[in-house]
């Protein structure tokens, strides 16, 4: 659509246009000084910002093209242009990026093309970003470019190529914690856990890498070694200038390892910033674990007045708090309040549905879960919860089977869903399949007592008494307060 050029830049553009059309004068024209150029650029910046705020993208598109003509070989101007582009609709931004990449200055500067590769990733165009950085590396193979490409390979599930890039990086800087951490994550993803642990063990003097090692140990089910490594981590952390994000991560780790005093000391030291509400959520859970329910409720109420990303879990945690105390009426009141503030929010609907399940109000549970599936048909949690609820009560077994298998297709490695798959096979009489999936559900899983109990029931039904006894021994070790299943 044709638009009239913005009035604030029209005089400058008109002057440029007239100059281009005239016969060159016999006397040289006065050269614009830096102050004049700066004034014109400032006008373009303000005009573009205003149009972006008003979502007048057609006018913003014109302004950005003008800025590209104005930017020349000034990297700071190009950086501002990229910030403007990312606020544009994707199709417009893509067209603008193509035009920018055709500029001689951009073509000649690897650092500029690298910056545009990062911009393409922000626009969810990872394949185009990879093609661009490959061209950069072909011309100038530098560490930052290879590191960026390795991360792109991971986004695009090209793990073998990412592996090769990380090895190249580590040969050049074997002690770089970012390279080590990212490569360990890749090895873990490739199920090369022993290689990942060996790599991390070489760098136990660095807080972030020792933290990653503890997480990996927990994933492998080695809680004892993880607890020992947390003891090793504490003095390192005490002597480091931890960021709020690091305090939050280590505080959460200490919480899961039941070192509540250390967790509380870290979390309460976070006084401001983006991590404050997340820290308060963890503090609330610590107080619940210590059965200080009144203080926990106060903390959750504080977070419920914050941003949605933290307010929603704060409502969910308070619902669980009241459930834990047996106060289902209060829990339901909290759920209803949350849903009045955030209408049809799927997480709150799910929490209320699970509350109805604990109240044995299956009809209300079905209403909430079906509402989630109406809004989001591929919601694996709702599919699994509805299917499992029916299966556990020997209701609608064929429909339950379909829902659970659909959830499994969406999230094939999810432990809770694997447990449901095993349980529906048990309910339908296929004990071999039930055992297969329940063993997958319990592998390296130290948090789900019910999956182990289901496996014991299935092994007993198969007549595998010795194996059932071995699983019961694990239950006694992992969940010492759990009641023993009847034989």
Average confidence (pLDDT) over 412-420: 96
Instruction: Please name the CATH architecture into which domain 382-487 falls.
Output: Alpha Horseshoe (1.25)
Asked if residue 12 has pLDDT above 60, the reply is: no
Asked if residue 284 has pLDDT above 80, the reply is: yes
Could you read off the pLDDT of 328-363 as tens digits, one per residue? Answer: 999 999 999 999 999 999 999 999 999 999 999 999
Please state the φ and ψ torsions of residue 5, each to the nearest 5 degrees.
-60, 145
- The CATH topology of domain 312-377 is 1.25.40
Could you read off the pLDDT of 19-61 as tens digits, one per residue? Answer: 333 344 444 444 344 444 455 788 889 999 999 999 999 999 9
Domains 312-377 and 382-487 share a fold: yes
Between vectors from CA 287 to CA 417 and to CA 269, what angle results, nearest 5°? 105
Beta-sheet strands, E only, within 316-459:
none
Asked if residue 73 has pLDDT above 90, the reply is: yes
From residue 323, alpha-carbon distances to 6, 131, 191, 336, 384 in Å are 60, 53, 38, 14, 21
The Cα 197–Cα 236 span in angstroms is 19
pLDDT for the residue 304: 96
Would you tell me how many other CB atoms lie within 10 Å of the CB of residue 330?
A: 16
Per the document, the length of the chain is 487
Average confidence (pLDDT) over 171-178: 90
The Cα 124–Cα 394 span in angstroms is 44
Between vectors from CA 23 to CA 19 and to CA 24, what angle results, nearest 5°? 80
CA-nearest of 133, 109, 108 to 119 is: 133
With 0.85 as the threshold, say if the pTM is over it: no
Residue keyed to tokens 């379909």: 402
DSSP 8-state symbol, 2: -
Average confidence (pLDDT) over 244-263: 96
* 175 band by pLDDT with thresholds 50, 70 and 90: confident
**Structural tokens at position 459:** 């092994």
Whether the CB-CB separation of 384 and 415 falls below 8 Å is answered with no
Average confidence (pLDDT) over 312-323: 97
From residue 119, alpha-carbon distances to 83, 133, 334 in Å are 9, 11, 42
| DSSP characters over 170-202 | HHH-TT-HHHHHHHHHHHHHTT-HHHHHHHHHT
Between vectors from CA 482 to CA 458 and to CA 261, what angle results, nearest 5°? 135
- Give the domain ranges of the chain: 1-20+34-108, 312-377, 382-487
Between vectors from CA 241 to CA 237 and to CA 242, what angle results, nearest 5°? 65
Whether the CB-CB separation of 464 and 472 falls below 8 Å is answered with no
> What does the mean pLDDT of the chain come to?
90
**Which has more confidence, 250 or 444?**
250
Contacts 24+ apart (CB under 8 A), 88-91: 88/52, 88/57, 88/60, 88/61, 88/64, 89/57, 90/123, 90/124, 90/125
Is 394 strand, coil or helix? coil
The Cα 384–Cα 320 span in angstroms is 20
**Structural tokens at position 18:** 């007239």
């Amino acid at each position: 659509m044709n638009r009239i050029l913005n009035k604030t830049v029209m005089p400058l553009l008109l002057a440029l246009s007239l100059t281009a059309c005239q016969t060159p004068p016999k006397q040289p024209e006065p050269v614009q000084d830096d102050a004049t150029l700066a004034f014109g650029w400032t006008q373009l910046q303000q005009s573009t910002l205003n149009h972006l705020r008003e979502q007048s993208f057609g006018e913003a598109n014109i302004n950005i093209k003008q800025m590209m003509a104005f930017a020349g070989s000034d990297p700071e101007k190009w950086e501002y242009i990229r910030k403007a582009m990312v606020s544009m609709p994707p199709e417009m931004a893509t067209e603008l990026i193509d035009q920018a990449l055709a500029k001689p200055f951009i073509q000649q500067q690897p650092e500029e093309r690298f910056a545009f590769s990062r911009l393409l990733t922000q626009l969810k165009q990872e394949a185009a970003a990879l093609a661009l950085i490959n061209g950069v590396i072909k011309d100038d193979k530098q560490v930052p470019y290879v590191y960026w490409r390795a991360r792109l390979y991971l986004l695009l599930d090209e793990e073998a190529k990412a592996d090769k890039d990380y090895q190249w990086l580590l040969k050049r800087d074997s002690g770089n914690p970012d390279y080590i951490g990212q490569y360990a994550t890749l090895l873990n993803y490739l199920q090369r856990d022993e290689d990942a642990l060996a790599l991390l063990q070489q760098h136990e003097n660095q807080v972030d890498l020792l933290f990653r090692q503890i997480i990996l140990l927990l994933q492998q089910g080695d809680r004892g070694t993880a607890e020992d490594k947390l003891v090793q981590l504490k003095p390192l952390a005490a002597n480091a200038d931890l960021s709020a994000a690091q305090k939050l991560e280590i505080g959460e780790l200490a919480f899961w390892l039941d070192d509540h005093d250390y967790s509380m000391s870290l979390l309460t030291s976070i006084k401001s910033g983006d991590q404050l509400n997340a820290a308060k959520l963890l503090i609330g859970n610590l107080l619940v674990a210590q059965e200080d329910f009144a203080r926990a409720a106060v903390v959750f109420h504080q977070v419920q007045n914050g941003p949605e990303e933290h307010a929603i879990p704060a409502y969910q945690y308070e619902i669980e708090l009241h459930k834990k105390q047996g106060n289902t009426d209060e829990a339901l009141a909290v759920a209803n309040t949350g849903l009045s503030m955030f209408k049809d929010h799927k997480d709150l609907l799910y929490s209320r549905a699970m509350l109805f399940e604990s109240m044995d109000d299956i009809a209300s549970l079905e209403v909430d879960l079906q509402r989630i599936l109406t809004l989001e048909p591929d919601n694996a949690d709702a599919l699994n919860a509805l299917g499992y609820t029916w299966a556990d009560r020997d209701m609608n077994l064929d429909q339950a089977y379909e829902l659970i298998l659909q959830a499994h297709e969406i999230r094939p490695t999810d432990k809770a869903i694997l447990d449901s798959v095993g349980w529906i096979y048990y309910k339908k009489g296929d004990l071999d399949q039930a055992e297969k999936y329940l063993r997958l559900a319990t592998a390296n899983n130290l948090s789900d007592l019910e999956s182990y109990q289901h496996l014991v029931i299935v092994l007993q039904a198969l007549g595998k008494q010795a194996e059932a006894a071995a699983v019961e021994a694990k239950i006694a070790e992992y969940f010492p307060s759990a009641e023993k299943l009847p034989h």
